[in-house]
Amino acid sequence: MQVSIPTTKGVLAAKYAKQAAPDQQYKGHPIISFPVTIQDVPAGTESLAFVFYDHDAIPVGGFTWIHWIAANLPADTTLIPENASQTGSVPMIQGNNSTAGGYTGETDLKVTQHYVGPYPPDQDHDYTFKLYALDTVLPVQPGYWLNDFYKLSAGHVLATAKTVVIGKQ
């Protein structure tokens, strides 16, 4: 299985990150999600899921920052188009990102249960997009937590693929 995100020399385009124009942000967050291409999903896949996260946030905030999670994408998905997080152009159930955890005080579901782009405060960060091919559809509801995803997907992962992109400071 393969997954790719368009970049320039490994760097995520500005409109998906901190440098997004004001009309491409909501409440100070870049909210236009990047396109994702998916190839070679294994036979027997019933659904896809993904996590987009930042381990480089650990020294800054004390934990890995979750930017976007989603589950139950159709197994035959080959493209998640730009802004799919906000438009719903691909069926998926989106979970909570790190803005939902009480750390920020944010309660707006347009922010907490959708894509919020890279916003590294200290230096360029590496952001990981990890795709999962699952042999089941998960019993999740909008706003599920990442730990619930890990518990529910245990024993159901057929394959994973990941790519790393750079978010500019």
Domains of the chain, residue spans: 2-167
Measured CA to CA, the distance from residue 124 to residue 64 in angstroms comes to 15
- DSSP assignment letter at 12: E
CATH 3.40.50.300 is held by the domain 2-167: no
Q: How far apart are CA 18 and CA 136, in angstroms?
A: 35
Distance CA 58, CA 77 (A): 32
| Each residue's pLDDT tens digit, 2-32 | 999 999 999 999 999 999 999 999 999 999 9
Q: If pLDDT is split at 50, 70 and 90, which confidence band does 162 have?
A: very high
- What pLDDT digit, counting tens, does each position of 138-159 carry? 999 999 999 999 999 999 999 9
CB 74 within 8 A of CB 52: no
pLDDT mean across residues, the chain: 96
What pTM was estimated for this model as a whole? 0.96
Question: Would the pLDDT of 60 be above 80?
Answer: yes
Average pLDDT, integer, range 47-71: 96
Is the pLDDT at 104 greater than 90? The verdict is no
Tokens of 152: 């529910």
